[in-house]
Amino acid sequence: MSTVGPVDLGPLGYGAAAVGNLYRAVDDESARRLLDAAWDSGIRYYDTSPHYGLGLSERRLGEMLRQRPRADFVVSTKVGRLLIPDPDGATRRDDDIFEVPADFRRVWDFSEGGIRRSLEESLVRLGLDRVDVLYLHDVERSPQGIPEAVDSGIAALVRMREEGLVRAIGVGTKDLGAVERAVRTDAIDLVMLPGRYTLLETPAKDVVLPLCQERGVGIVNVAVFNSGLLASPDPGEEARYEYLPVPADKLRRAQELARACRELGVELPTAALHFSARHPAMVSVVVGADTPEQIRQNVARMRSPVPDELWELLAERGLLP
């Protein structure tokens, strides 16, 4: 299943943080090749955010999408951070994980006025007249606290959906308590869930996934490689986990998973992608990529069959989370 209400996300989407210079600078031409590769590979769902490269991801994604038929793609962006011009920061690097000048600063704002302004500014950067999905972003990091950010933010999103400004609304957060609070409002369509249901670990399994099924909320599974740890057939110490160097226990488990997968002729990233989509609450899987080849690999992996024997083998060895 990949349809939520009027929105068909497709089984695999592209997360556009990389074209916002995540970890490293990417020039405009390379970013365009990356986005064209996603389109040419058949991907039609694209996710971005003002946070990604201080608007750079939205601008680059918009340049590609404006040349495509609007009815042929789905795009989501996020709200919760406003970008405020900061000319004094132009000579400094952004203090987050994006390799861009700090010529804007992020200001948390989950008020209705802030959310509406954020969407308006995103549409200008994207060069589009609408987005299809709007998520509250990283509510767990809001200085006003999760309850107020979730409650005020969702109330605003509901009104915007009623006005036809967006087709579907949701939250994107790794905080399972925040997800549960949002789902229990019975007002949202989607949850974007980063790294909480992966082949490595499934903390969302017992409460959040059944609750989403019960309330009819679709889950868009993201960070399914755990920030890169499961993205290699042979994970090593250089891998990242939760955007940081990988802890020894997580690396050992990933290596055990990789060895078991090889016994049945399956690469670890292929198993990770398929596992992330197996639960019936999942409506789409969104992955990032740094190169066109990685995009093509991910599409091919998602299309490759995985034998049921693999899940049986992993279960026998205590490796299914």
Instruction: Clarify whether 243 is annotated catalytic.
Output: no
Report pLDDT for 242: 87
Q: Which of 14, 46, 52, 197 is catalytic?
A: 52
**5 has a pLDDT exceeding 80:** no
Domains in the chain: ranges and CATH: 8-316 (3.20.20.100)
Burial class (CB in 10 A: 0-12, 13-18, 19+), 264: middle
pTM of structure: 0.95
Mean pLDDT, the chain, as a whole number? Answer: 96
Three-class SS state of 279: coil
Per residue in 239-297, pLDDT (tens digit) is 989 888 999 999 999 999 999 999 999 999 999 999 999 999 999 999 999 999 999 99
Report pLDDT for 70: 96
Report pLDDT for 2: 60
CA angle, residues 171, 119, 22, in degrees to nearest 5: 70
**108 has a pLDDT exceeding 90:** yes
Per residue in 196-234, pLDDT (tens digit) is 999 999 999 999 999 999 999 999 999 999 989 999 999
Burial class (CB in 10 A: 0-12, 13-18, 19+), 266: buried
Report pLDDT for 184: 98
Report how many helices (DSSP H) and strands (DSSP E) the chain contains, helices first.
10, 14
Per residue in 300-311, pLDDT (tens digit) is 999 999 999 999
User: What angle, 0 to 180 degrees and rounded to 10, lies between the N-to-C axes of helices 112-126 and 146-162?
Assistant: 60
Proportion of the chain above pLDDT 70, given as a percent: 98
Torsion over CA: 75, 81, 87, 92 (sign): negative
* Distance (Å, whole) CA 272 – CA 277: 9
Per residue in 129-175, pLDDT (tens digit) is 999 999 999 999 999 999 999 999 999 999 999 999 999 999 999 99
Report pLDDT for 177: 98
Report pLDDT for 6: 67
Q: 171 is written with which tokens?
A: 């939250």
CB atoms within 10 A of CB 187: 16
Q: How far is CA 160 from the centre of its chain?
A: 22
